[in-house]
A and B are shown apart, each in its own frame.
Chain A
Amino acid sequence: AQSVTQPDIHITVSEGASLELRCNYSYGATPYLFWYVQSPGQGLQLLLKYFSGDTLVQGIKGFEAEFKRSQSSFNLRKPSVHWSDAAEYFCAVVIISGGYNKLIFGAGTRLAVHP
Chain B
Amino acid sequence: DGGITQSPKYLFRKEGQNVTLSCEQNLNHDAMYWYRQDPGQGLRLIYYSQIVNDFQKGDIAEGYSVSREKKESFPLTVTSAQKNPTAFYLCASRPTKNNYGYTFGSGTRLTVV
Which residues of A come within 8 Å of B, CB atoms?
Answer: 6, 9, 32, 34, 41-44, 46, 49, 51, 90, 92, 94, 96, 99-108
Contact = CB atoms under 8 A, between A and B. Distances in A.
Given A42-B106, A100-B50, A105 B43 contact: yes
B31 interface: yes
Contacts, number: 53
- B interface, size bucket: 20 to 34
B12 interface: no
Given A101-B50, A102-B45, A107 B40 contact: yes
Nearest to B4: A43
Interface stretch (B13-21, B68-76, B92-100): B92-100
A107 B41 contact: yes
A100 B45 CA distance: 13
Given A43-B104, A100-B48, A102-B58, A94 B42 contact: no
